[in-house]
A and B are shown apart, each in its own frame.
Chain A
Amino acid sequence: MLQFGRFALTRAIMALITLLIVSIVVFSLMELVPGDCAERYLSYKQTQGVAVSMADIQSERVRLGLDRPFFERWSTWVVGAFQGEFGDSCILRVNIAELLGSKFWISLLICVSSLVLAYAIAIPVGIIAASSRNAFLNNSLRIVSYLGLAMPNFLLALMIMLVATVYFGETLTGLFSAEYRDAPWSWARFVDLMKHAWLPIFILGWSATAFALQTVRALMSDEIGKLYVTAAKARGLYGAKLLWRYPARHALGPIVNSLGFDLNRIFNELPIVALILTLTEAGSLLIDALAKSNDQQLAGAIIFLLTASIVTLNFLTDLLLAVMDPRIRKSILR
């Protein structure tokens, strides 16, 4: 038990260090990109047609604190980050924690829902695909799910929106309808959110399903051929009971392992879809901060929160796996 506790502690420390490393890397990557917050902010103004001089840009930089040395800026930021205080966004001029507020949770909700949807489809379909002899069923199931992979998300989103606009007169944008936009949280607001969020969940879920399906099918195929399955068949088990009791449970081990990173992958795809569907949540804010405004504070904050979620999830799944799978437990405690 003590050993297990030590294992858990080691994992926790490693998770923390990972968080720090990623934050440094992201922060410094933003430094390397040409055009800082001051320039971008003022260039907005330039597109509105006003003349801006280099002196204006420089004083804007000083105002935003961009002329302080890198390490100083990063350390003040990271210390605040661990307390949940992310400072102000340099472009939007708002306190980031307030801006992100419920948005990050909504993004997480969408991503997790997509993941759940993906595996809810992939696991049964993968098991069927791996064990069934019916080639037609096998192939058609696979074609439908892989289509989600092949079709780029943004194209799918745009096509759906187009059909909705042209044939139904509804642009399916936004996460809330007008009445619920600024209202406080309630069951009705949650239902309204679900009515709008089904589209991004569907789009992201479909492409995630393909990846998950591949994985499940591969793992199941491996396990089904193994001797213990043959032994179980010899003992008289068959059908779904056989599948579930033996190979499926073992195949699922690696899947649990990769949940954290699946979440990361989905979160990487979310911004582009969110951009098209005009969802105001953390994903589209992130893309704006990274690709358009070089808003280090905002981008750093969102990535920090995301990394924290993934790292936490990884930590939990590692522990879970160590509990579930005695082989891993043994290896670790060598």
Chain B
Amino acid sequence: MKRILLSGVALVLLPGAVLANCPNITVADMQGVSAGAYPNQLELSEFQSAASCEMNYSENPSIAALNSQIDGNGKLASVADRLPEEPLVIIPYASIGQYGGTFNALSNATEAGTSDFLSTRHTTMFRYSDDLQTVVPNVAKSWAWNDDFTQLTITLRKGHKWSDGSAFTSADVAFWYNNLMMDTNIIENAKDYTLAGGEPMVVTTPDAQTVVFDLAAPKPGLIETFSASFIQPFQPRAFLGQFHPDINAGADALAQAAGFESGYDVIRAYFGSSDWTDTPTMMFIKPNEVDNLPANTMPTLESHIIIAEDAEGRHLVANPYFHQVDTAGNQLPYINEQDERYVPDTEVRILKLINGEVTYKAQSVSLDNLPILLDNADAGNYSVDVNPGITMPVISFNVTSEDMAKREIFGDLRFRTAMSIAMNRDEINEVVYFGLGEPEQFTGITPLPEFIDAKWKSHETGFDQDRANALLDEIGLVDADGDGDRDLPNGDPFVLNIQFSTQAHSAQLMEIAAQNWVDVGVASVVKEVTSDEFRSAQSANQLDVTSWGQGGTLGVSMGSNQWYVPPFGTYFDTRTGMLWAEWVDSDGANGVEPPEYVKGMMVDINILQSSAPGSDGQIGAGKRLVEAMASNLLFLGTVKASEPVYRSNDLQNIVQFKTTSYDFYRTYPYNPSQWWLSE
């Protein structure tokens, strides 16, 4: 009897002991709970076993009101039903947040200057953690490569739902790839990131939570696409598929009933024919027809969803079906609403910033605004962090210039070396960047991975006018007519025609560099032009000297070979060796044959892209690439600047970023979904 009683009590009590609520751990105070497989986050089962607890969910008290503002959403189920069976547990950095508040954002226009705001709600398969080196899961629960990087298997979360409550499954990933990316009615030319080895991938879905990507050639960089970019490789099949002729036979009829010409029109209007999430929504482009449609914008997996849009801005509310929770079981995001306003003029943006009207901003805030921002920081209740950037302004000479005499000079390494050491980078740093930057040489891959010798960063960056003069004399650029400027070996005057755009870097930088070169006898004509004029003159091979901001991470190079194959940049960067590019594209029929080191770089970038990360092949190729780029000075590095980040003092759980840059997709590595606003 006693035994039955005792065991009965034990039976009652023991589960009670296991059913303790999970501790509210934060990154600052882990309360002795051991970290999971990935930093700053845990899978539900990991957390529950590590802390011996069971998680109880709670939701935003205003979520029902917010949900009613989402067009097409019905009544809300309970929070436990809205979350996946295994939600992602995000460990907040400093504190468990409080629900509420409106996040105020500024962009330049509907699709310009928006990416740092977009990144605050962005969600994709994986993410780079805040050390910018570890890839961690987000929407996906786990992934696995096969041995030679030709097959990627991704496992999703069971019970994960779209923002309208419908189920999110592997079929949505397959829909994105097969019916949107590969459908020429929506995207005419397949995008580079959807191909492997130039061929489409084969996407199959063995079950509702598993997606398999089969590639024609090894592409370890595919992970990069799903973790560090704006691309979201999934779209709602149930919602969009009803308008897709390949999926629903009655798609066109349905579209016409709503006032569109065809099903594809509806899809294009919703999806915008691009994976960018700032393309205008149906509310903006078809305000008359939008009421005939089931919802005014597509369902999303992001932390917030757009509920209103016009020419002046957008308004968003929290997504009731978001798949992340914090360690106390609160469904994220904490912030109720987001309001984005468009302000095209720089000075007005600054005024709004110093008036404290904005919660967070990094893009389009430059270092020369730093003094005025710092002056008003107390009154405006905000702080400014300054973090290193990733790209830096580089200057390059046209090595395949139409003018043969100049081509010979620019092609001579001694000339480029002389120009590099004639530049007083410390002066540029002092005048343009308040001394906060770092003079650096261009190495292609930045930041320089540890396995590459750091000496390349300071290769030929010293200031040595005597040596520069000696080198220039050596190659035959002497002052023949005594006017103080050097002339070409054939006697003609030697004048550099420099055009630049202030979108790339400040005018002062170019002014100082040109003056430094005048000091060693190289005359130049400096002219500021618009970005369009710069690009077309560059494409037409008309410029002597070009400049832009250049540089990207190792991850970028794994996915794209643009820095190492002539013309060493895209249409929108600075390029040189245009005629070498012609030679490469035409397989030797036209253009000018590039020198051996360029061919070597082209071989090495292929090796880099097809080797496993961390393998000897990749390390060797990386070293050779950096050596070739830096020692040949195709691009002269100037000063790697830091960039400011503006944040309101009311914004909590925000950490200092390691870099202020587009790479890794801006705020995405720093878990913006766990930011909250104190009043």
A/B: CB atoms within 8 Å of each other: yes
Interface residues of A (CB under 8 A from B): 33-35, 39-57, 59, 62-63, 88, 91-95, 98-99, 158, 161-162, 165, 169, 171, 173-174, 181-182, 275-278, 280, 284, 288, 292, 294
A94 touches B533 (CB 8 A): no
- Determine how close the nearest CB of chain A comes to the CB of B514; give it in whole angstroms: 24
* Residues of chain A contacted by B288 (CB below 8 angstroms): 98
**Contact mask for chain B residues 503-536; partner A; CB cutoff 8 A; 1 contact, 0 none:** 1000000000000000000000000001111011
* Residues of chain B contacted by A88 (CB below 8 angstroms): 285
B192 touches A51 (CB 8 A): yes
* Residues of chain A contacted by B287 (CB below 8 angstroms): 98
Given contacts A171-B352, A288-B109, contact A51 B347 (CB under 8 A): no
- Report the nearest A residue to B559, measured CB to CB: A51
Given contacts A35-B535, A92-B110, A182-B310, contact A51 B351 (CB under 8 A): no
* Residues of chain A contacted by B535 (CB below 8 angstroms): 34-35, 39, 43
Given contacts A35-B536, A46-B570, contact A53 B348 (CB under 8 A): no
* Residues of chain B contacted by A162 (CB below 8 angstroms): 351
Stretch at the interface among B44-52, B172-180, B276-284, B597-605: B276-284
- Determine how close the nearest CB of chain A comes to the CB of B256; give it in whole angstroms: 18
Interface residues of B (CB under 8 A from A): 109-115, 188-189, 191-192, 229-230, 272-274, 276, 279-280, 284-288, 308, 310-312, 343-345, 347-348, 351-352, 354-355, 357, 503, 530-533, 535-536, 560, 562, 570-572, 662-663
* Residues of chain A contacted by B279 (CB below 8 angstroms): 93
A51 touches B560 (CB 8 A): yes
A43 touches B531 (CB 8 A): yes
- Determine how close the nearest CB of chain B comes to the CB of A292; give it in whole angstroms: 8
Bound complex: CA A276 to CA B346 (Å): 9
B345 touches A275 (CB 8 A): yes
- Determine how close the nearest CB of chain B comes to the CB of A152; give it in whole angstroms: 14
B355 touches A171 (CB 8 A): yes
Given contacts A34-B533, A39-B532, A94-B285, contact A45 B276 (CB under 8 A): yes
* Residues of chain B contacted by A276 (CB below 8 angstroms): 345, 347-348
A158 touches B347 (CB 8 A): yes
8 A-B pairs with the lowest CB-CB distances in the bound complex, closest first: A35-B532, A49-B662, A46-B572, A48-B115, A34-B536, A59-B188, A44-B112, A34-B532
* Residues of chain A contacted by B571 (CB below 8 angstroms): 39, 52-54, 57
A278 touches B109 (CB 8 A): no
B532 touches A40 (CB 8 A): yes
- Name 25 A/B residue pairs within 8 A (Cβ), A-sorted: A34-B533, A35-B530, A39-B535, A41-B111, A43-B535, A45-B276, A49-B115, A51-B570, A57-B571, A63-B188, A92-B284, A92-B311, A94-B280, A94-B311, A95-B286, A98-B287, A165-B354, A171-B355, A171-B357, A277-B348, A278-B344, A278-B348, A280-B311, A288-B344, A294-B532
- Determine how close the nearest CB of chain B comes to the CB of A72; give it in whole angstroms: 21
* Residues of chain B contacted by A99 (CB below 8 angstroms): 311
- Determine how close the nearest CB of chain A comes to the CB of B498; give it in whole angstroms: 18
* Residues of chain B contacted by A55 (CB below 8 angstroms): 189
* Residues of chain B contacted by A275 (CB below 8 angstroms): 344-345
Contacts beyond the supplied A47-B572, A276-B345, A276-B347: 16 A-B pairs with Cβ under 8 Å: A34-B533, A39-B532, A43-B531, A44-B112, A45-B111, A46-B570, A47-B113, A48-B230, A49-B662, A53-B570, A92-B110, A94-B284, A162-B351, A169-B355, A182-B310, A277-B348
Q: Which of A41, A59, A95, A181 contacts B285 (CB 8 A)?
A: A95
Bound complex: CA A292 to CA B112 (Å): 11
Q: Which of B113, B348, B531 contacts A171 (CB 8 A)?
A: B348
Given contacts A35-B532, A59-B188, A278-B345, contact A52 B572 (CB under 8 A): yes
* Residues of chain B contacted by A292 (CB below 8 angstroms): 344
- Report the nearest A residue to B111, measured CB to CB: A44
Most buried by B among A40, A171, A277: A171
- Determine how close the nearest CB of chain B comes to the CB of A294; give it in whole angstroms: 8
- Determine how close the nearest CB of chain A comes to the CB of B71; give it in whole angstroms: 15
B533 touches A52 (CB 8 A): no
B533 touches A165 (CB 8 A): no
* Residues of chain B contacted by A49 (CB below 8 angstroms): 115, 662-663
Bound complex: CA A295 to CA B135 (Å): 41
* Residues of chain B contacted by A95 (CB below 8 angstroms): 285-286
B345 touches A171 (CB 8 A): no
* Residues of chain A contacted by B357 (CB below 8 angstroms): 171
A93 touches B280 (CB 8 A): yes
Bound complex: CA A158 to CA B347 (Å): 8
Q: Which of A48, A57, A92 contacts B662 (CB 8 A)?
A: A48
Most buried by B among A39, A54, A88, A93: A93
- Report the nearest B residue to A36, measured CB to CB: B532
